[in-house]
Chain A
Amino acid sequence: MIFSAACVTAEALTFVGKSCEVPEDWSLLETTQKESAAAIIDLQTDAIILGQPFSFKFTLCDETDSVPDRITANATMPAHQHGMNYTPTVTFDEASNNFEIEDFLFHMPGEWEITISSYQGEAVTHYTKIIAVN
């Protein structure tokens, strides 16, 4: 029991400290910068087709509603030491306050690490999520 409690505590400490209400079909990203705003994406892993481009949305759970100066998005396969062969496009949709990330393409099966970086002035926060693609 103590062991389980320790595990749960450890997991809680690994994620960002700030709270975020995660809508259905969205998921939290991880970051090593615990003072940063939480970030979520609406990526449905099951819908990804190998070799075909796909898009998803990204947004920050920022109570101040401030919009980052710039967002970049990329992905790599840690096991194979390579990234994507295409450069995705990131655009901001004012109406929804979401960033639209278009033309991601995973060309190999396995684990991909998505990295989304948020730039605000001199500050940058890196968010990651590892997903498995078959």
Chain B
Amino acid sequence: MRLPRYYFRICLYLLLFFILPKSPLAATSNVEIDLNSAKDKGLSSTENPPKQLLLNEQQLSQVLANGPWPLTVKPDPSNRLSGNDEAIEFGRRLFFSTRLSGDNTKSCVSCHAPEEAFASGRVIKKDPTDLDRNTPSLFNVRHNRWFGWDGSNDNLWAQSMRPIVSNREMNLPIQKLREVISESTFLAPYRSFFGEISEHSDDLVLVNVGKALAAFQETIVTKKTPFDNFRDAVANKDWNQASKYPESAQRGLSLFLGRGNCSFCHSGPLFTNGEFHDAGVPYFIRPGVVDKGRHQGIINLKQSPFTLASDYSDDPKKSGAWAVEKVATSHANFGIFRVPGLRNVAKTAPYMHNGSLTTLEAVVDHYSNINIERLHADGEAILKPLGLTKQEVQDLVNFLESLSD
């Protein structure tokens, strides 16, 4: 005799319902702050009773996974310059130098401006020469597994090489890069870190410049935020401190973790799972032309000679190479893009891979009223229209703003 798998589970649920006593603190109940108990445990208190936290136990537990911040970092084993102060300074000079562009007018800063959150504040496609994608911020970029909106690279130095030689960006012919380094004050640091440039191939010169640029970009890290103060207070059970987190941000956080399903993709201390998803944003660049997103990214990645599996990596163990070797190709990758981290998100407008949304309110509205017809029919079943009220939209925005330093 064979019974359906769900038969005994139904039995189990019935047993639990009728036999087990009701829990005094159901999982969805709000946490009552007991000041006396807090004092007994040596937790801090203030003269005024703290407000009741608006998150339930499960949500408070989830919050802990969004920190602590900053993360502990180790030098990138694939980059011999990683963490080297002198190399970081060399990389900083390269980052700001227009000599890395074909016509001496552009530098990395042209698109990754420090005063614009190391991104470009302008809405793209205003000008025909603009790029098709939104410039991603470089905040916390060292923690990425994949780089760019489509993950065409698996390391920061390879990603840093790409715009230098791209004819739509800095447009420096790769053969000219040797000349730029050799005939400038860049030669001395280059030689000290990498040896004689005359013995290096054009590709290796580009890789080495990429490594210096990466060493600098690794230092672009966001600071602690109001959310982190809240998260740490929860971790320490310092309810007085935790209750200082604004109620509206708490309500937004509750939506973020719960009904909004935001935390499925925006998880962990970086508020991203680092992977690729369909956000319901059109991937048409112009009539008849589509941005293939991760689909093309994996093709580029597999063809790249500059991955963590390559001899250009300084890591003899080739740690991290497993990802490029095992990344799965799927038709569902078409038109999906990397989930950006949300730290300092209030400073990185415009939003989405194509920079089509200019405010956080617009982003929340987009998800609240998402057009499921735009989602891949055979794709994920995560996003659905939320129908948020005006207050709920504002709460989510206030929460997102609390992620900025």
Contact = CB atoms under 8 A, between A and B. Distances in A.
Interface of A: 3-4, 6-7, 10-11, 13-14, 30, 32, 34, 50-51, 53, 79-89, 103, 107-110, 134
Given A14-B5, A107-B275, A108-B273, A7 B12 contact: yes
B65 interface: yes
B323 interface: yes
A9 B5 CA distance: 12
B1 A80 contact: no
A123 B379 CA distance: 31
Contacts of A53: 322-323
B17 interface: no
Given A81-B381, A82-B379, A109-B263, A13 B2 contact: yes
A90 to B, nearest CB: 12
A86 B11 contact: no
Contacts of B2: 13, 34
A51 B11 contact: no
Contact of B328 (A51, A84, A108): A84
B65 A134 contact: yes
B7 A10 contact: yes
13 contacts: A3-B14, A7-B12, A10-B8, A14-B3, A30-B5, A51-B145, A51-B268, A51-B274, A81-B380, A81-B381, A82-B380, A85-B327, A89-B326
Nearest to B322: A103
Given A85-B276, A103-B322, A108-B273, A80 B268 contact: no
Contacts of A88: 326
Contact of B273 (A7, A83, A84, A107): A107
B265 A10 contact: no
B386 to A, nearest CB: 16
Given A6-B11, A84-B328, A86-B328, A51 B273 contact: yes
Interface string B39-81: 0000000000000000000000010010000000000000000
Interface in B308-367: 322-323, 326-328, 330, 332
Interface string B1-24: 111010110011011000000000
Nearest to A6: B11
Contact of A85 (B264, B322, B328): B328
Interface residues of B, number: 34
Given A84-B328, A85-B276, A103-B326, A108 B267 contact: yes
A16 B266 CA distance: 39
Contacts of B274: 51, 107
Given A51-B273, A79-B381, A134-B65, A108 B264 contact: yes
Top 10 nearest A-B pairs by Cβ distance?
Answer: A7-B11, A10-B8, A11-B8, A86-B326, A107-B275, A107-B273, A81-B381, A82-B380, A87-B328, A80-B380
A4 B268 CA distance: 41
Contacts of A109: 263-264, 267
Interface string B217-242: 00000000000000000000000000
Contact of A86 (B7, B15, B323): B323
A107 B273 CA distance: 6
Nearest to B298: A85
A62 B166 CA distance: 58
Given A14-B5, A107-B275, A134-B65, A86 B327 contact: yes
B382 interface: yes
Contacts of A11: 8
Given A13-B3, A109-B264, A82 B332 contact: yes
Contacts of B326: 86-89, 103
Contacts of B332: 82
Nearest to B332: A82
A81 B379 contact: yes
A86 B145 CA distance: 13
A83 B328 CA distance: 10
Contacts of A107: 273-275
B268 A50 contact: yes
A29 B276 CA distance: 30
Contacts of B378: 81
Contacts of A51: 145, 267-268, 273-275
Contacts of B275: 51, 85, 107
Nearest to A30: B5
A107 B263 CA distance: 11
Contacts of B381: 79-81
A109 B263 CA distance: 9
Given A85-B275, A89-B326, A109-B267, 14 more contacts: A3-B14, A3-B15, A7-B12, A13-B2, A13-B3, A14-B3, A50-B268, A51-B145, A53-B323, A79-B381, A81-B379, A85-B327, A86-B323, A109-B263
